[in-house]
Amino acid sequence: MLKINARQWGKNVLVFSLLGPPVGWWTISLCSLVAGFFDKSVHQSDVVYLVLGLVTGALFSYILGGIPALATGMLMGVVPPKLPLIPRLALAGVVGWVLTHLSLLLFSSSWEWDLLFNPLVLLGGFSAIVCAWVARPKSPHPPPLPLAK
């Protein structure tokens, strides 16, 4: 039988639902900003508007990314805490990627293979990895310190 730690489950749901959508928005915005500087299409005077876009866009990111982030947090809350960090992060990335893909299919008129590697879908996986790292279970016993010689 699967034992669920209610505190860890709640922590996952909270972190994923609150942090996931803005992380995705900020990532795609910063990538666009860096690409614009290299492309010379972004000028220094546009930076103020871009920073305002980072803040206001993060609020609107919950519309598209809130449900997949919440569902990913709920599923990751069921993962046993003894799972090592790297497999936990990989699992979170795959779950976030799949759930973001499924949510975008709801807005799409037809199923397309190109949607699997849409930047928004990949950002769902990246946001899930960041959230899984933030919400990782803490070890109840820290590793012992090495003895000084």
Q: What is the pLDDT of residues 25-58, one digit of tens each?
A: 888 877 777 777 776 666 666 667 777 777 888 8
pTM of the model: 0.78
| C-alpha–C-alpha distance, residues 50 and 71, integer Å | 30
Which pLDDT tens digit goes with each residue over 106-124?
777 666 666 667 777 788 8
Tell me how far CA of residue 11 lies from CA of 24, 28, 93, 144, in angstroms. Answer: 19, 25, 18, 27
